[in-house]
Structure 1
Amino acid sequence: MIADLLSAVRMLSAPAFALTLNAALAPGAAGAPALWAAGLFGLAVVSDLLDGPLARRAGTASRRGRLLDHGADFAFVAGGLGVCAAHGALPWALPALVAVAFALYFADALRGRQSSGRLGRVNGVLYFFPPGGVLLGLLGVEGLEFAVRALAWILVGSTAVSIAARWRVRR
């Protein structure tokens, strides 16, 4: 129950995160939108770290809860990645491939098929890093641009591999 509530809060905060991140990335933006976006990002990360362990500890882990958790993750990172790509901070290939990967995961989950493989789980965690790195830059941390872009392109490659692996298993 509490775990599902945390996932729901993350999902419901995704549009606000995308809007505040968009405002923070706008030319001439002051610091307040970046602070709001960072607060929402922190809330999302904490809720994502807590929801699974809380569900397992309470004995309430369920297929529905996993779908809600992954859906919340997708809503949050897709919004952040899309906004960053729209402002040129990340390549468009990343949010596009994340959408394809999630659609395949969700379709397989609805059919009762295997959830994500190891690479998919690692990617799912790492998808939070590029928007987080962009946010750190907006908050004054310098020198992250190359690392953030490099990670984004690595994720483009690993997501493509993950999609191909899932597609191969589906056939």
Structure 2
Amino acid sequence: MRIQAHLLTGLRLALALPLAVAFARPDSLSPFVVALLLAAAIGSDYFDGVVARRQGTASAGGQLFDHATDCLFVTACLAGAALAGSVPPVLPVLVALAFGQYVLDSYWLHRRKQLRMSTIGRWNGIGYFVPLVVLAAARLELVPALTPLLTAIARIVAYVLVASTLVSIVD
């Protein structure tokens, strides 16, 4: 049985709402479940493109679905984290604005038939997952003494992402 790349992307899309709620209300899901679901989402992000390329089904539409799902996923989860006071509220807003600009620039400004990626945009896309992973790790409290440090690291990374996203938008 062949795994369809769109099913992997769809899994990430389906995980956006429950994880956004979990980041907004840490008591809504166990920390272990949050970490497991986040790992599944990240795995689906990595493997959807691999599967599409190996099966010869990669397409501009699939790329748009993948990137739009990434945007929706990280925006929702970061918004949840912002509601909990874990990351600055401006970050999910900037993520959505940067993605909108990315799509408009690709299709209308540059008249491409597929998304036109920039280096900073690619790194930001990866980076948006980092505060979520660090927050999920902090909530596991494997080493309780490190929980405040991990929470602070997530916040610092989020502020760095605010700056890099602003640079990306101006670029």
TM-score, structure 1 normalization: 0.86
Which residue does the alignment assign to 1:121? 122
Give the RMSD, CA atoms, in angstroms. Answer: 1.7
- Residue 35 of structure 1 and its aligned partner are, at CA, apart by 2.3
CA distance 1:6–1:83, change in 2 (3 Å): same
Q: CA deviation at 1:34?
A: 2.2
**Is the contact between residue 22 and residue 80 of structure 2 (CA under 8 Å) also seen in structure 1?**
no
Aligned sequence identity (%): 38
CA distance in 1, matches of 2:107, 2:10: 19
1:66 corresponds to 2:63 = yes
Write the distance in 1 (CA, Å) between the matches of 2:11 and 2:66: 10
The whole-number CA distance in structure 2 between the counterparts of 1:106 and 1:40 is 28
Identify which of 129, 132, 149 aligns with 2:155: 149
Deviations 1:133-168 (A, max 9, x none): 111111115221232122111111111011111xxx
CA distance in 2, matches of 1:107, 1:101: 10
Unpaired segments ≥5 residues, structure 1: 166-171
* Aligned residue number for residue 6 of structure 1: 8
Structure 2 counterpart of 1:44 = 41
Structure 1 distance, partners of 2:164, 2:47, is 26
- SS for the counterpart of 2:87 is coil
**How many angstroms apart in 2 are the aligned matches of 1:93 and 1:61?**
33
Partner SS for 2:136: helix
Instruction: State the distance in 1 between where 2:60 and 2:83 align.
Output: 34
Give the ranges of 4+ consecutive aligned residues of structure 1 lying more than 3 Å apart after TM superposition: 108-114
User: What secondary structure does 1:144 align onto?
Assistant: helix
CA distance in 2, matches of 1:19, 1:147: 21
Distance in structure 2 (CA, Å) of the matches to 1:20 and 1:151: 20
Cα distance, 1:85 vs structure 2: 0.8
Unaligned runs of 5+ in 2: none
Distance in structure 1 (CA, Å) of the matches to 2:8 and 2:154: 27
Shift of 1:3: 1.1
